[in-house]
Amino acid sequence: EHTIYLKDYTPSPYRIVSVDLDFRILTENTRARAQLTVEPRDDTAPGTPLVLDGDGLVLGSIAIDGAPLVLSAYAANDDGLTVFEPPLRRFVLETEVTLQPETNTKLMGLYRSSGTWCTQCEPEGFRRITYYLDRPDNLAVFKVRMTAPLDVAPVLLANGNLVDKGDAGDGMHYAVWEDPFPKPAYLFALVAGDLGSITDSFITGSGRKVDLGIYCTHGKEDQCLWAMDSLKRSMAWDERRFGLEYDLDVFNIVAVSDFNFGAMENKGLNIFNDKLVFAKPDTATDGDYDGIERVIAHEYFHNWTGNRVTCRDWFQLCLKEGLTVYRDQEFTSDERSRAVKRISDVATLRRAQFPEDGGPLAHPPRPDQFREINNFYTTTVYEKGAEIVRMLATLLGEAGFRKGMDLYFERHDGEATTIEAFLAAFADANGVNLDQFKTWYLQAGTPKLTVNEHYDADRQTYTLKLTQETQPTPGQPNKQALVLPIKFGLLGPNGSPMGWSEVSGAEVRDDLIVLNSAMAEVTFTGIANRPVASLLRGFSAPVVLESQSSQQDQLFLARHDSDPFNRWQALQDVGMALAVAAVKGTPWSDASVTALSEALAETLGSETLDDAFKALALNIPDEQSIGREIATDIDPDKIHAVRGKLLHAVFEPLAMQLLATYNALASTTPYAPDALSTGRRSLRNRMLGLLLASEAAGADMLAAQQYGNATNMTDRMAALASSTYAGTPQVAGMLADFRTRFGGDPLVLDKWLAVTAAAPRDGVIEDMKAILADPSFPKTNPNRLRSLVGTFAMNNPTQFARADGAGFRFVAEFVTEVDKINPQVAARVLTGFRIWPMLDSTRRDAAKGALAALQATALSRNVADILTRMVGG
Ligand code: B3K
Ligand code: ZN
């Protein structure tokens, strides 16, 4: 058992205060020499061994203060290095190791991506570079010297500022970088390669000039402009919104092709998965542009929330991640449409986080144990973590939240800290108690908030009975009541806001009910007519809301609510109710479908709503959402069929309007990624998707035409994806064309792989097997693997969960194979199985069979950990 517990946290008896690294990078191998300045703590007893982490390192030499150590003075093995009796004073430990970046397919530590040497150290990659206290609470200043062949690696980058460079003879050159800010090792980075770049600069609020650079494969420079634009806007926003200025003279970003994650916030040297940097209109979609803007901002914002103030231990991961996701969400909301951003974030939360929280892999945002920390970079830590910060902001108000942030930086700048310290800053800055609020970080599971309403005409009172309940999750049988901030409003008969004379039963401030017990009855007095309540406006708490609201009330909200989120939500709820009832055997009535159609038609025709909002509203919940709502004994085929029929019934009557809107939205201006143009394209493409889904005459041809004539990737991809989902006769031709046109650009090939893998049709597994069997398919590239098999496991509910088990077996076999190459990618794909307990018994058995077969093979710790939790071991 490798389980690590939060309760066992102890500071290390030694500290590393400064690090001098010297890399000699050669094409056959890289030699890394480290000089660590080490200090014992005041209370460290004589004879306490110094235990450093290491992972697969081979020690060449070792010395303390220049004197080589005798063999009996230390022990080095595959997990690290122990110096038995180091001096009880400050000393310099020098080690030398030889690394093999060429064969490093795990992509942790130093590796080579398309010829470029680069690093990934978070969370535990630095120990694959040198022996170290590879834990986030050891902050040290780093100086890095790199020597490399000038022809293969003319560009040499590391954290901080360039302090020296020059010729090193024999075709070699060197560069020395120094980072004055003490940092944990996970923020270390170096890059060496033959790279192109674009440069720019930013003047900070206090007038300092920061040199900005984005490095990439030669020839892709023109695809980095959007990333640079996003970076500059992020820098300006963080000053405006949080008063946070950048602190070094240089900020560099490097795009690499092989990367386990989206990007990494190394101090002053962010390294990015190239799919989150490169964009041009004919190869990147609006979604790609959004993703780049968001992640560039996210990594930049980490400079304060993550780097200047970091985590004490990895249990505190959401201290930096939840907070930084909240910050990037706010950035996008300020730059684009707040309502649209909120709706899409909540959709993502429900699609990804809710199933995690309600399944076998559920864990608290701050876990208290783990076997493999890489498996905790989850949507719970990131997105639920952001929801918690958002609730804090809702409870404290914008000014109160800002006071808390300011105090947090005042107290903890330059420290490695905890969730407790974070909350204490907000509590102290606002004079409030957040003890109960903290439970959000400690408790797993999505609470269910049930609302019952009662209007008393005689007394003119309106009562909302609010009940919260959280189901048990693995390891947590009993759940506490949480603090739920419930934003709300009451609507009068004509749709306008309704006031009240008094309210009792819970803490209510203006438009906010704070529920902090399992149950409360909130009574409003002075209510002349039965109101319609709009609850959980803006999705003010990450819960499942259950109300007895009639279709009529929902559609009333859809028309009149001043909260755009709830207008969208109301339409989704109506569609959901019809779909769920039909799957369970109660067909919808014509009247209820007509009522929904009419409300959607009105939404589409609205003069006040914007296009992006309409595009989100004009839909019914996806197959997975319907499945989650049903929750037990799911038959994905049935859901697929019912949803298809519902789309048809609801949207066929609107065909003329859909087509007219489609035509009216055609654009003649060149592509631009701004919010308005993006919204226009998304509405137009939604119209196309709905025409296809409702089998309108000629829709397949229209889609094929749009595909062929598209002048940007957004429109081309939208036509291809909707045609594939609908299975039109033209799809095969379009897919073949796409492959020929774009097969040479790996990032566009990913789109082809993903759309292929998501097709809800028999034969897709055979097609994927053929793709994987092609010797030219790069099994070491995470983007390719995730686009194909990751998409299949996450986004193809009917074929992945086939009743004959072929989908499960395919993914399990893939995991076995890829685990040997890259355990992180394998473990991530395996999480697609988390839906298994919700399926019908045939499919459950099939999933269990595939998982059992996987369990019988030799597995990495990453995969073994997910598997054990998945099957409940
Ligand atoms: N902090 C990195 C995560 C790297 C995770 C590696 N398993 C990316 C981010 O959240 O900004
Ligand atoms: Zn992050």
pLDDT digits (tens, 9 = 90+) for 321-330: 999 999 999 9
- Whether residue 321 has its Cβ less than 6 Å from ligand 1: yes
pTM: 0.98
| Alpha carbon nearest to ligand 1 atom 8, residue | 264
pLDDT at 846 over 90: yes
| Alpha carbon nearest to ligand 1 atom 2, residue | 264
Looking from the CA of residue 265, the nearest atom of ligand 1 is 11
The pLDDT of 732-737, averaged and rounded, is 98
Q: How far is the CA of 299 from the centre of ligand 2 (A)?
A: 6
Q: How far apart are CA 418 and CA 319, in angstroms?
A: 7
Cβ–Cβ < 8 Å for 252, 814: no
Q: Please give the torsion angle defined by the CA atoms of residues 298, 303, 309 and 310, in that order, rounded to the nearest 10 degrees.
A: 70
Q: Is the peptide bond before 360 cis (omega within 30 degrees of 0)?
A: no
| Alpha carbon nearest to ligand 1 atom 1, residue | 264
Q: How far is the CA of 317 from the centre of ligand 1 (A)?
A: 10
Question: Which long-range CB contacts under 8 A does 467-475 form with residues at least 24 apart?
Answer: 467/518, 467/519, 468/515, 468/518, 468/519, 468/543, 469/518, 470/443, 470/445, 470/446, 471/358, 471/445, 472/445, 473/357, 473/362, 473/363, 473/444, 473/445, 474/360, 474/362, 474/363, 474/444, 474/869, 474/872
- Whether residue 298 has its Cβ less than 6 Å from ligand 1: yes
pLDDT tens digits along 326-349: 999 999 999 999 999 999 999 999
Token digits for 646?
Answer: 């519902």
Looking from the CA of residue 302, the nearest atom of ligand 1 is 11
Query: Which residue's entry shows tokens 């399990």?
Result: 812
Residues 6+ apart with CB under 8 A from 292: 226, 227, 230, 276, 277, 279, 284
Please state, for a pLDDT cut of 90, what percent of the chain lies above it. 99
| Alpha carbon nearest to ligand 1 atom 10, residue | 321
- Whether residue 379 has its Cβ less than 6 Å from ligand 1: no
Mean pLDDT rounded to a whole number for the chain: 98
Count other C-beta atoms under 10 Å from residue 529's C-beta: 14
Would you identify the CATH topology of the domain 448-541?
A: Immunoglobulin-like (2.60.40)
The pLDDT of 712-717, averaged and rounded, is 98
Q: How far is the CA of 384 from the centre of ligand 2 (A)?
A: 13
Q: How far apart are CA 227 and CA 294, in angstroms?
A: 10
Within this chain, domains 310-442 and 548-696 share the same CATH topology: no
Residue type at 190 in one-letter notation: L
Looking from the CA of residue 374, the nearest atom of ligand 1 is 7
pLDDT at 383 over 70: yes
Count other C-beta atoms under 10 Å from residue 738's C-beta: 20
The dihedral sign for the CA sequence 740, 742, 744, 749: negative
Q: Which ligand is nearest to the CA of 376?
A: 1
pLDDT tens digits along 219-277: 999 999 999 999 999 999 999 999 999 999 999 999 999 999 999 999 999 999 999 99
- Whether residue 124 has its Cβ less than 6 Å from ligand 1: no
| DSSP string for 640-684 | HHHHHHHHHHHHGGGHHHHHHHHHHT---SPP--SHHHHHHHHHH
pLDDT at 738 over 80: yes
Looking from the CA of residue 262, the nearest atom of ligand 1 is 8
Q: How far is the CA of 789 from the centre of ligand 1 (A)?
A: 22
| Alpha carbon nearest to ligand 1 atom 6, residue | 122
Q: How far is the CA of 296 from the centre of ligand 2 (A)?
A: 10
Q: How far apart are CA 464 and CA 506, in angstroms?
A: 10
Q: Which ligand is nearest to the CA of 325?
A: 2
- Whether residue 299 has its Cβ less than 6 Å from ligand 1: yes
| DSSP string for 468-488 | EE---BTTB-S-PPP-EEEEE
Q: How far is the CA of 443 from the centre of ligand 2 (A)?
A: 21
Q: How far is the CA of 365 from the centre of ligand 2 (A)?
A: 14
| Domain 310-442: homologous superfamily in CATH | Neutral Protease Domain 2 (1.10.390.10)
Tell me, yes or no, if 299 is annotated catalytic: yes
Whose CA is closest to 582, among 539, 520, 639, 530? 639
Which of the listed residues 258, 264, 307 should we mutate to test ligand 1's pocket, taking the one with most ligand atoms within 8 A of CB?
264
Residues 6+ apart with CB under 8 A from 744: none
Token digits for 136?
Answer: 């986030």
Query: Which residue's entry shows tokens 């998304």?
Result: 682
CATH 1.25.50.10 fits 548-696, yes or no: yes
The pLDDT of 305-327, averaged and rounded, is 99
Whose CA is closest to 779, among 753, 761, 807? 753
Query: Which residue's entry shows tokens 């720019």?
Result: 200
From residue 629, how far is each of 531, 580, 619, 672, 870 by CA, in Å?
Answer: 27, 7, 17, 38, 21
Residues 6+ apart with CB under 8 A from 642: 579, 582, 583, 626
Q: Which of the residues 299, 321, 335, 387 is marked catalytic?
A: 299
Q: Which ligand is nearest to the CA of 261?
A: 1
Q: How far is the CA of 301 from the centre of ligand 1 (A)?
A: 13
- Beta partners for residue 583, in sequence order: none
Looking from the CA of residue 382, the nearest atom of ligand 1 is 10
Q: Which ligand is nearest to the CA of 320?
A: 2
Which of the listed residues 119, 122, 234 should we mutate to test ligand 1's pocket, taking the one with most ligand atoms within 8 A of CB?
122
- Whether residue 377 has its Cβ less than 6 Å from ligand 1: yes
pLDDT tens digits along 159-182: 999 999 999 999 999 999 999 999
Q: How far is the CA of 321 from the centre of ligand 2 (A)?
A: 5
- Whether residue 383 has its Cβ less than 6 Å from ligand 1: no
Q: How far apart are CA 398 and CA 671, in angstroms?
A: 36
Residue 873 confidence class, pLDDT cut points 50, 70, 90? low
Q: How far is the CA of 329 from the centre of ligand 2 (A)?
A: 12
Q: How far apart are CA 295 and CA 276, in angstroms?
A: 7
Residue 13 confidence class, pLDDT cut points 50, 70, 90? very high
Token digits for 811?
Answer: 């993914």
Q: How far apart are CA 245 and CA 235, in angstroms?
A: 7
Q: How far apart are CA 483 and CA 179, in angstroms?
A: 42
| Alpha carbon nearest to ligand 1 atom 9, residue | 264
pLDDT at 872: 82
The pLDDT of 748-768, averaged and rounded, is 98
Q: How far is the CA of 261 from the centre of ligand 1 (A)?
A: 6
Token digits for 457?
Answer: 């005409």
pLDDT at 190 over 70: yes
pLDDT tens digits along 75-107: 999 999 999 999 999 999 999 999 999 999 999
Cβ–Cβ < 8 Å for 62, 71: no
| DSSP string for 510-563 | TTEEEE-SSEEEEEEE---S--EEEESGGG-SS-EEEE---HHHHHHHHHH-S-
| Helices and strands in the chain: count of H runs, count of E runs | 29, 33
- Output DSSP code: residue 862: H
Count other C-beta atoms under 10 Å from residue 497's C-beta: 14
Cβ–Cβ < 8 Å for 863, 852: no
Token digits for 198?
Answer: 């674009």
pLDDT tens digits along 760-808: 999 999 999 999 999 999 999 999 999 999 999 999 999 999 999 999 9
Count other C-beta atoms under 10 Å from residue 208's C-beta: 13
| Alpha carbon nearest to ligand 1 atom 5, residue | 122
Residues 6+ apart with CB under 8 A from 706: 688, 715, 716, 718, 719
Q: Which ligand is nearest to the CA of 322?
A: 2
Q: Which ligand is nearest to the CA of 122?
A: 1
- Whether residue 264 has its Cβ less than 6 Å from ligand 1: yes
Token digits for 805?
Answer: 């088990």
Domain boundaries, the chain: 4-194, 310-442, 448-541, 548-696, 743-873
Which of the listed residues 265, 269, 272, 383 should we mutate to test ligand 1's pocket, taking the one with most ligand atoms within 8 A of CB?
265
**Element containing residue 83 per DSSP (H, E):** strand 80-83
CATH class given for the domain over 4-194: mainly beta
Residues 6+ apart with CB under 8 A from 620: 572, 575, 576, 578, 579, 643, 646, 647, 650
Report the CATH architecture of 743-873: Alpha Horseshoe (1.25)
- Whether residue 374 has its Cβ less than 6 Å from ligand 1: yes
pLDDT tens digits along 20-66: 999 999 999 999 999 999 999 999 999 999 999 999 999 999 999 99
Q: How far apart are CA 294 and CA 306, in angstroms?
A: 17
Which of the listed residues 121, 272, 304, 321 should we mutate to test ligand 1's pocket, taking the one with most ligand atoms within 8 A of CB?
321
Cβ–Cβ < 8 Å for 806, 824: no
